[in-house]
Amino acid sequence: MSAEATEKKAPVIKFLAGNEACMEGALAAGCRFFAGYPISPSSEIAEKMSGRLPKLGGKFIQMEDEIASMGAIIGASLAGAKSMTATSGPGFSLMQENIGYAMMAEVPCVVVNVMRGGPSTGNPTGPSQSDVMQCRWGTHGDHPAIVLSPNSIREAFDTTVQCFNFAEQFRTCVVLAMDEIVAHMREKIVIPAKEDIKIVNRKKPNLKPGDPYKPYEADASLIPPMMNFGEGFRYHVTGLDHDATGFPSGAPDNQEILHRRLVDKVEMHKDELFLFENHRTEDAEVLVVAYGSTSRSAKRAVEEARAQGIKAGLFRPITLFPIPEKQIALAASHAKKVVVPEMNLGQYRLEVERILGPAVPVVGVHRVNGEPIAPSLILSAIVGG
Amino acid sequence: MSMDYFQYLRKERMPHIWCPGCGHGTIMKSILRALDKLKWAKDDVVVVSGIGCSSRTPGYLDFNTLHTTHGRALSFAQGVKVANPNLKVIVISGDGDAMAIGGNHFIHACRRNMDITLIVFNNNIYGMTGGQASPTTFTGSKGTTAPYGAIEQPFDVCNMAQASGATYVARALDIDAVAMDRVILSALQNKGFSVVDAWSQCTTYFGRQNKWGDASEMMDRYKEMTYNVRLAEKMSPEEKAGKYPVGMLFQTSRPEWCEEYGKLIERVSK
Amino acid sequence: MSKRYEIRLAGLGGQGLVLAGVILAEAASIFENKNAVQSQSYGPESRGGASKSEVIISDEEIDYPKATHIDLLLCLTDAAAEKYLKDCPETALVIADSDLVPSAIPEKYRSVKAPITRLARETVGKEFVTNIVALGLIQELTGIVGLPALEKAVLGRVPKGTEDLNKRALEVGREAAHEYGAHILSARG
């Protein structure tokens, strides 16, 4: 791995595992700080980062636990570095408090959660999608959530770049929810040339030295421009309720304004966040909604159902949250039945049921046995009554 | 002592939240006097804290200030320092923040030896949450969660720091501002991880629950519980028994994390 | 070749099966521009216990990345044969190490038994090239990837200084195809 793919002017062909592609995507997006703690099945991301970052002048630090890893990437981001950590189940649980801090204090950062079976130690090496709702609601309090989930090696690269772009654009913590299958399988990937990768950087306020800076004063976009520590505009950052100055404020009006803005800044831009794939949904009478590696089983099942004369289609959210609700409803507009396969006991299915309402039956295909969901299981649900 | 403290303070954030008799403000002033001597540009200074009475300090200071989650200040601070080693990073933490919920971060920060100074405002109690026992509550002392007196042995912040690898370790009492100034200045000047165990009396919770009297009586008691480390050689073991040394307790020189990582970058990026 | 070709390489951790799968998939996807996905068993068993590596090669987009209808099974232990033969459709080609898999391969399968490990140890001279001998054998027997592509993929992955050894291993594997698998080669025509 001597070639510094992320710095190449021409595309580079590689054969990578998902965890490696994720790392390449992060470096391409400009990530120059990684803090982490070893945990299966995400550890390769930390391992590869420890080798690559210093070659690019970036920094890698192995922390004493995931709590500290999360704290360190927030600190690094405030000091100006695009930063990231990667973990799995139990580590993701430990990170939740500081993930909430990043959302509250509006510090851009990326957390990769390579999902394994839970709760608790669960199945450290088997695939799972059982953290989907934790990705949405893991930390306490109302909060925004941007969660992406790739299903291929190329997409592991692309969605990681997207995570950084969204984190920078929206000043928040963005989660990449990758399952173990995508993390560890290998495929060919053509890493685009540097100039072909769209990079978003945090918006800076237009200030002259000495101008007053209110770090949480947002314009109509609801996203406040951000100065880094050390750039000459001293300000205060806290996880307490605060006003536009950044200082704690217990005033009820300020609290209401803050919490609504934190959620609304993502909500009002959500059309920019929706990444998804429609596969043969135009006339689909049976719609499968699947994400991550399970969507690959689902695509096969859809093809096999079509071969049997069943009008099946697949809607694949890449952006899990915010949920592409209108897009799901549109894909289901001809559906007499909707099938939601997941390597959990129905976390996203509940969302699909909520979106589509009682008019369309929603059937779950759920497995929590540490094995991928085979296409035949999904096909049975498509075909079955 | 004629310096203008307000050049370093956010006047609009006054009054502070600390109770009458609390030692935290005294320690904060020692920090400001040390910074005034060092003449560091305010834009280059980052003050990080966790949660608790002491952790409100950064909000009053006109630097880059970061009030983090309970116990986690050191992890945020190390991220800041690694991402931009040119920044001067100071961490202010309480005894519960640094030694209980943040204990693991404390020992690993000592081990890494980044150029960061940690000042533990140690008042042997959780003040902000109502006087619960902390990891530095003395055996037998009362807290709202130790109504019959603590049965556990307290942590010695300085022994922990030294054993874990900090390269400058000192203890000072808020009553002795000269000593406090001296050790904080030395700690900030040390190229590595420095720990100052800064004793501060909590009259509201510790003093009242333990019937230790007002601030001046508490300070007198702290003096009785300690001895100057420079006099240690002349003291008998009996005289030192059960007492805490104050002053500069340990200093050594060891590679600093960011410098070592800088060398690593040089080595591998060729 | 059929549109989707599924290969399972099974044996013990340390036999180099994960690397063999990666090389095969790279040969197909990078050097022949087909699609390929490689995956492996993952967990404590990969450190000395049972090991499994799968490769799917296809002219078309590969959706489901795991094997469902095996075309080729390589067994380097008896335990692997016992565990994975029962998942094998009758159309599969089964290749086994004749010294390490004493059990008979059921007659319904087209099968080849060759002393793969022994060839690596004695003919090539290093047991650690067992996986590369196996790749040579697979290449010659199936043609699933071309020799130039396979050779490039092997040389791209092996440690510097072992290139000649690994080329020799490929050759020994291909020769073994003729010595032990003539019945398969003649059927391929």
Q: What is the pLDDT of residues B93-152, one digit of tens each?
A: 999 999 999 999 999 999 999 999 999 999 999 999 999 999 999 999 999 999 999 999
pLDDT at C144: 96
Cβ neighbours of C122 (radius 10 Å): 11
Task: Assess contact for C34 and C56: CB atoms under 8 A.
Answer: no
- Say whether pLDDT at B266 is over 80: yes
Q: What pLDDT is attached to residue A5? A: 46
Contact A97 B69 (CB under 8 A): yes
CA angle C44–C49–C54, rounded 5-degree value: 85
Indicate whether A2 pLDDT > 70.
Answer: no
Cα–Cα distance for residue pair A370/A123, rounded to 1 Å: 7
Whether A223 has a pLDDT exceeding 90, the answer reads yes
* Domain assignment of residue C127, given as a range: 4-188
Indicate yes or no: CB of A229 within 8 angstroms of CB of B84: yes
Q: Which of A234, A235, A241 to mutate to test the interface with B (most CBs of B within 10 A)?
A: A234
Tokens of B146: 């130790």
Pairwise CB contact (< 8 Å): B76 & A75: yes
Q: In b/e form, how buried is each residue of B143-161, taking b as 16+ CB within 10 angstroms?
A: beebeeebeeebbbbbebb
Distance CA A280, CA B32 (A): 68
Mean pLDDT of B237-263: 97
Residue range A265-278, pLDDT digits in tens: 999 999 999 999 99
The chains found to touch B (3+ Cβ pairs under 8 angstroms) are: A
Instruction: Return the number of CB contacts < 8 Å for A and B.
Output: 141
Q: Which residues of chain A neighbour C29 with C-beta distances below 8 Å?
A: 15, 187-188
DSSP state of A222: S
Domains identified in chain B, total number: 1
| pLDDT at residue number C189 | 64
Verify whether the Cβ–Cβ distance A126 to C65 is below 8 Å: no
Q: Is A230 on the interface with B (CB under 8 A)?
A: yes
For C46-85, write each residue's pLDDT tens digit: 566 888 999 999 999 999 999 999 999 999 999 999 999 9
User: For the residues of A265-330, what is the DSSP string, one character each?
Assistant: HHHTTHHHH--EEEES-TT-SEEEE--TTHHHHHHHHHHHHHHTT--EEEEEESEEES--HHHHHH
**Nearest chain A Cα distance for residue B238, angstroms:** 39
Smallest CA–CA distance, residue A185 to chain C, in Å, is: 4
- Give the chain C residue nearest A151 (alpha carbons): C63
CATH of domain A5-196: 3.40.50.970
Please determine, looking at this structure, whether the domain spanning A276-383 carries the CATH number 3.40.50.280.
Answer: no
A71-101 burial by CB neighbour count: b if 16+ within 10 A, else e?
Answer: bbbbbbbbbbbbbbbbbbbbbbbbbbbbbbb
* Confidence tier at B232 by pLDDT (50, 70, 90): very high
- Measured distance CA(A181)–CA(B207) in Å, rounded: 59
Output the pLDDT for position C78.
95
Phi, psi of B164 (to 5 degrees): -90, -10
Are C and B neighbours with ≥3 CB pairs closer than 8 A? no
Percentage of residues in chain C having pLDDT higher than 90: 89
pLDDT computed for residue C45 by the predictor: 56
Q: What percent of chain B has pLDDT over 90?
A: 98
By Cβ distance, the residue of B10, B46, B67 closest to A229 is B46
Average pLDDT of span A133-145: 97
Q: Which residues 58-77 of A have a C-beta within 8 angstroms of B?
A: 59, 61, 63-65, 67-77
Query: In chain C, which residues have their Cβ closer than 8 Å to the Cβ of A178?
Result: none
Q: What is the rounded distance in angstroms from the CA atom of residue A342 to the CA atom of residue A350?
A: 11
Question: ipTM greater than 0.90, yes or no?
Answer: yes
In this structure, are strands B88-94 and A319-321 parallel, antiparallel, or unpaired? unpaired
- Residue A53's nearest CA partner among A24, A95, A10, A75 is A24
What is the least distance, in Å, from the CA of C148 to any CA of chain A? 18
Residue of chain A minimizing CA distance to B42: A234
Which residues of chain A from 153 to 212 reach within 8 Å of chain C, CB to CB?
A: 180-181, 184-188
Q: Is the pLDDT of residue B191 over 80?
A: yes
List all residues of chain A from 86 to 105 with a beta carbon under 8 Å from chain C: none
pLDDT of residue C49: 80
A107-132 mean pLDDT: 95
Q: Does residue B9 register a pLDDT over 70?
A: yes
Query: Considering only CA atoms, which of A341, A102, A130, A123 is closest in space to residue A113?
Result: A130
Q: Closest Cα of chain B to A51: distance in Å? A: 9
* pLDDT, tens only, A320-371: 999 999 999 999 999 999 999 999 999 999 999 999 999 999 999 999 999 9
Give me the pLDDT at residue A9, please.
77
- Mean pLDDT in residue range B248-253: 98
pLDDT of residue C2: 53
Task: Identify which of A80, A97, A98 has the shortest CB distance to residue B83.
Answer: A80
Please answer yes or no on whether A15 and C68 come within 8 Å at the CB atom. no
Tens of pLDDT, residue by residue over C101-152, are 999 999 999 999 999 999 999 999 999 999 999 999 999 999 999 999 999 9
Distance (Å) from the alpha carbon of C31 to chain A's nearest alpha carbon? 10
Which pair of tokens denotes residue A250? 């217990």
Residue B6 forms part of a structural domain? no
- The CATH code of the domain that includes C17 is 3.40.920.10
pLDDT at A231 over 60: yes
Q: Which residue of A has its CA nearest to B49?
A: A238
Domain that includes residue B117, residue range: 14-268
Computed over every residue of chain A, the mean pLDDT equals: 96
* Number of A–C residue contacts, CB under 8 Å: 62
Whether A6 has a pLDDT exceeding 60, the answer reads no
What CATH number is attached to the domain comprising B108? Answer: 3.40.50.970
* Closest CA relative to residue C83, chosen from C141, C12, C23: C12
Mean per-residue pLDDT, B33-49: 98
Tokens of C16: 């180099």
Q: Where are the domains of chain A?
A: 5-196, 276-383
The pLDDT of residue B2 is: 77
Is B269's CB within 8 Å of A71's CB?
no
Read off the pLDDT band of B155 (50, 70, 90). very high
Q: How far apart are the CA of C54 and the nearest CA of chain A, in angstroms?
A: 9
Q: Which residues on A lie below 8 Å from B46 (Cβ)? A: 79, 229-230
Which residues of A are less than 8 Å from B13 in CB distance?
247
pLDDT class of C188 with cuts at 50, 70, 90: confident
To the nearest whole angstrom, how far is the Cα of B236 from the nearest Cα of chain A?
A: 40
Residue A365, pLDDT score: 98
Buried (b) or exposed (e) across A236-253, using 16+ Cβ within 10 A? bbbbbbbbbbbbbbeeee
| Smallest CA–CA distance from A79 into chain B, residue | B80
Mutate to test the interface with C, among A2, A154, A188, A314 (most CBs of C within 10 A): A188
| Cβ atoms of A246 and A214 closer than 8 Å | yes
In this structure, what token pair is assigned to residue A330?
Answer: 């549109």
pLDDT in tens, C86-104: 989 999 999 999 999 999 9
With pLDDT > 90 as the criterion, what percentage of chain A qualifies?
95
How many domains does chain C contain in total?
A: 1
Q: What is the mean pLDDT of residues A62-78?
A: 98
pLDDT (mean) for A308-314: 98
Percent of chain B with pLDDT over 70: 100
Q: Do C and A touch, counting CB pairs below 8 Å (3 needed)?
A: yes
Q: Which of C29, C37, C66 sits opposite A372 (nearest CB)?
A: C66
Average model confidence (pLDDT) across chain B: 97
pLDDT digits (tens, 9 = 90+) for C167-186: 999 999 999 999 999 999 99
In whole angstroms, give the CA distance from residue A214 to residue A242.
11
Which pLDDT does position C187 carry in this prediction?
85
